[in-house]
Amino acid sequence: MAKIENVGQYIRAHPKWEDKLLLLRKLLLSSKLSETIKWGAPVYTKGGKNLVGISAFKNHFGLWFFQGSLLQKNTDLLVNAQEGKTQAMRQLRLDENSEIDLNILKKYIKETIELHDQGKTVKLVAPKKVDIPNELKEEMSNDLEYHNAFTQLSPGKQKEYSLYIIEAKREATKQNRLEKIKPMIFSGIGLNDKYKNC
Protein backbone atom coordinates (compact mmCIF):
# COMPACT_ATOMS: atom_id res chain seq x y z
CA MET A 1 0.00 0.00 0.00
CA ALA A 2 1.32 3.45 -0.92
CA LYS A 3 2.31 5.75 1.89
CA ILE A 4 -0.47 8.18 2.79
CA GLU A 5 0.96 11.69 3.04
CA ASN A 6 -2.12 13.84 3.63
CA VAL A 7 -5.68 13.63 4.86
CA GLY A 8 -7.21 14.31 1.45
CA GLN A 9 -5.29 11.36 0.02
CA TYR A 10 -6.55 9.12 2.85
CA ILE A 11 -10.16 10.17 2.29
CA ARG A 12 -9.96 9.72 -1.50
CA ALA A 13 -8.54 6.21 -0.93
CA HIS A 14 -11.91 5.29 0.64
CA PRO A 15 -14.50 6.38 -1.96
CA LYS A 16 -17.27 4.35 -0.35
CA TRP A 17 -17.08 6.57 2.76
CA GLU A 18 -15.66 9.77 1.22
CA ASP A 19 -18.63 12.07 1.97
CA LYS A 20 -18.94 10.79 5.53
CA LEU A 21 -15.20 11.04 6.19
CA LEU A 22 -15.24 14.64 4.94
CA LEU A 23 -18.05 15.35 7.40
CA LEU A 24 -16.06 13.85 10.29
CA ARG A 25 -12.97 15.80 9.26
CA LYS A 26 -14.91 19.08 9.18
CA LEU A 27 -16.31 18.34 12.65
CA LEU A 28 -12.87 17.61 14.09
CA LEU A 29 -11.29 20.69 12.52
CA SER A 30 -14.11 22.83 13.99
CA SER A 31 -12.99 21.55 17.42
CA LYS A 32 -9.68 23.42 17.02
CA LEU A 33 -7.60 20.24 17.04
CA SER A 34 -4.41 19.94 14.98
CA GLU A 35 -4.57 17.56 12.03
CA THR A 36 -1.79 15.16 11.11
CA ILE A 37 -1.22 11.72 9.59
CA LYS A 38 -0.03 8.93 11.89
CA TRP A 39 0.01 5.20 11.11
CA GLY A 40 -1.28 6.12 7.65
CA ALA A 41 -4.53 7.69 8.90
CA PRO A 42 -5.76 11.13 10.04
CA VAL A 43 -5.14 11.89 13.71
CA TYR A 44 -6.26 14.98 15.61
CA THR A 45 -4.06 16.23 18.41
CA LYS A 46 -3.83 18.90 21.09
CA GLY A 47 -0.58 19.88 22.75
CA GLY A 48 1.16 17.08 20.86
CA LYS A 49 -1.15 14.41 22.32
CA ASN A 50 -3.24 12.14 20.10
CA LEU A 51 -6.91 12.61 20.95
CA VAL A 52 -9.05 11.39 18.04
CA GLY A 53 -8.39 9.53 14.78
CA ILE A 54 -10.47 8.86 11.69
CA SER A 55 -10.58 5.31 10.38
CA ALA A 56 -12.06 3.70 7.28
CA PHE A 57 -12.32 0.02 6.45
CA LYS A 58 -14.22 -2.10 3.93
CA ASN A 59 -17.40 -2.46 5.99
CA HIS A 60 -17.24 0.43 8.43
CA PHE A 61 -15.66 3.78 9.25
CA GLY A 62 -15.50 5.88 12.37
CA LEU A 63 -13.54 7.65 15.03
CA TRP A 64 -10.84 6.38 17.39
CA PHE A 65 -10.63 8.00 20.82
CA PHE A 66 -7.10 7.44 22.10
CA GLN A 67 -8.18 7.86 25.75
CA GLY A 68 -11.72 6.66 25.12
CA SER A 69 -11.92 4.44 28.19
CA LEU A 70 -11.84 7.63 30.30
CA LEU A 71 -15.09 8.93 28.78
CA GLN A 72 -17.93 8.73 31.28
CA LYS A 73 -20.73 10.92 29.90
CA ASN A 74 -20.54 9.84 26.26
CA THR A 75 -20.00 6.12 26.00
CA ASP A 76 -23.05 4.56 24.33
CA LEU A 77 -21.47 4.38 20.86
CA LEU A 78 -17.98 3.31 21.94
CA VAL A 79 -16.58 -0.19 21.54
CA ASN A 80 -13.30 -1.77 22.51
CA ALA A 81 -12.07 -3.12 19.18
CA GLN A 82 -9.77 -5.64 20.89
CA GLU A 83 -11.33 -6.65 24.17
CA GLY A 84 -8.71 -7.81 26.64
CA LYS A 85 -5.88 -6.16 24.70
CA THR A 86 -6.75 -2.49 24.25
CA GLN A 87 -6.72 -0.57 27.51
CA ALA A 88 -7.24 3.08 26.62
CA MET A 89 -8.44 3.35 23.02
CA ARG A 90 -12.10 3.09 22.06
CA GLN A 91 -13.75 3.14 18.65
CA LEU A 92 -16.98 4.75 17.50
CA ARG A 93 -17.93 2.54 14.58
CA LEU A 94 -20.32 3.56 11.79
CA ASP A 95 -21.52 1.89 8.60
CA GLU A 96 -23.82 2.54 5.64
CA ASN A 97 -26.88 2.26 7.91
CA SER A 98 -25.56 4.73 10.49
CA GLU A 99 -26.96 8.21 10.68
CA ILE A 100 -24.27 10.72 11.58
CA ASP A 101 -25.63 13.02 14.27
CA LEU A 102 -23.03 15.77 14.53
CA ASN A 103 -24.50 17.05 17.81
CA ILE A 104 -23.93 13.68 19.46
CA LEU A 105 -20.42 13.31 18.01
CA LYS A 106 -19.54 16.82 19.22
CA LYS A 107 -20.25 15.69 22.78
CA TYR A 108 -17.74 12.82 22.47
CA ILE A 109 -15.09 15.16 21.10
CA LYS A 110 -15.83 17.87 23.67
CA GLU A 111 -15.52 15.45 26.60
CA THR A 112 -12.29 14.06 25.11
CA ILE A 113 -10.79 17.56 24.91
CA GLU A 114 -11.95 18.39 28.46
CA LEU A 115 -10.31 15.23 29.84
CA HIS A 116 -7.10 16.12 27.99
CA ASP A 117 -7.19 19.68 29.36
CA GLN A 118 -7.55 18.23 32.88
CA GLY A 119 -4.41 16.14 32.28
CA LYS A 120 -6.24 12.83 32.59
CA THR A 121 -4.80 9.75 30.92
CA VAL A 122 -5.35 6.03 31.28
CA LYS A 123 -2.83 4.39 33.59
CA LEU A 124 -1.71 1.46 31.46
CA VAL A 125 -1.14 -1.88 33.12
CA ALA A 126 1.90 -3.77 31.84
CA PRO A 127 0.75 -6.81 29.87
CA LYS A 128 1.49 -10.23 31.24
CA LYS A 129 4.61 -11.91 29.96
CA VAL A 130 3.78 -14.17 27.04
CA ASP A 131 5.35 -17.60 26.95
CA ILE A 132 6.93 -18.75 23.71
CA PRO A 133 4.66 -21.43 22.20
CA ASN A 134 5.95 -24.98 22.06
CA GLU A 135 5.77 -25.07 18.26
CA LEU A 136 8.15 -22.10 18.00
CA LYS A 137 10.44 -23.52 20.72
CA GLU A 138 10.65 -26.77 18.78
CA GLU A 139 11.55 -24.96 15.54
CA MET A 140 14.31 -23.04 17.32
CA SER A 141 15.67 -26.10 19.16
CA ASN A 142 16.52 -27.61 15.77
CA ASP A 143 18.21 -24.47 14.43
CA LEU A 144 20.70 -22.53 16.56
CA GLU A 145 20.85 -19.61 14.10
CA TYR A 146 17.07 -19.32 14.24
CA HIS A 147 17.16 -19.36 18.04
CA ASN A 148 19.83 -16.66 18.09
CA ALA A 149 17.90 -14.48 15.62
CA PHE A 150 14.78 -14.75 17.77
CA THR A 151 16.54 -13.95 21.05
CA GLN A 152 18.10 -10.85 19.47
CA LEU A 153 14.62 -9.42 18.79
CA SER A 154 13.17 -6.95 21.29
CA PRO A 155 10.79 -8.45 23.89
CA GLY A 156 7.90 -6.71 22.11
CA LYS A 157 8.74 -8.35 18.78
CA GLN A 158 9.16 -11.75 20.46
CA LYS A 159 5.72 -11.29 22.02
CA GLU A 160 4.13 -10.37 18.65
CA TYR A 161 5.46 -13.55 17.05
CA SER A 162 4.52 -15.73 20.02
CA LEU A 163 0.94 -14.42 20.09
CA TYR A 164 0.68 -14.86 16.32
CA ILE A 165 1.34 -18.60 16.75
CA ILE A 166 -0.69 -19.01 19.97
CA GLU A 167 -3.80 -17.36 18.46
CA ALA A 168 -3.94 -19.81 15.55
CA LYS A 169 -6.59 -22.42 16.33
CA ARG A 170 -5.76 -25.08 13.74
CA GLU A 171 -2.46 -26.95 13.63
CA ALA A 172 -2.17 -26.31 9.88
CA THR A 173 -2.54 -22.58 10.48
CA LYS A 174 0.16 -22.68 13.16
CA GLN A 175 2.52 -24.44 10.72
CA ASN A 176 1.78 -21.92 7.94
CA ARG A 177 2.45 -19.07 10.33
CA LEU A 178 5.70 -20.64 11.51
CA GLU A 179 6.89 -20.80 7.89
CA LYS A 180 5.80 -17.21 7.23
CA ILE A 181 7.59 -15.67 10.22
CA LYS A 182 10.93 -17.46 9.91
CA PRO A 183 12.42 -15.17 7.22
CA MET A 184 11.07 -12.13 9.08
CA ILE A 185 12.77 -13.21 12.30
CA PHE A 186 16.04 -13.81 10.44
CA SER A 187 15.71 -10.28 9.03
CA GLY A 188 15.28 -8.87 12.53
CA ILE A 189 11.93 -7.26 11.78
CA GLY A 190 8.79 -7.40 13.86
CA LEU A 191 5.54 -8.97 12.73
CA ASN A 192 3.74 -5.60 12.66
CA ASP A 193 6.62 -3.31 11.67
CA LYS A 194 5.07 -2.47 8.29
CA TYR A 195 2.05 -0.95 10.07
CA LYS A 196 4.17 0.99 12.55
CA ASN A 197 6.11 2.72 9.78
CA CYS A 198 3.07 4.12 7.96
Sorted by where each starts, the structural domains of the chain and their CATH numbers stand as 7-117 (3.90.1150.200), 134-196 (no CATH)
Its pTM stands at 0.63
How high is the pLDDT of residue 83? 63
Q: How confident is the model at residue 89 (pLDDT cuts 50, 70, 90)?
A: confident
Read off the pLDDT of residues 171-192 as tens digits, 9 standing for 90 and up: 999 999 999 999 999 988 888 7
Integer CA distances (angstroms), 157 to 119, 134, 150, 151, in order: 31, 17, 9, 10
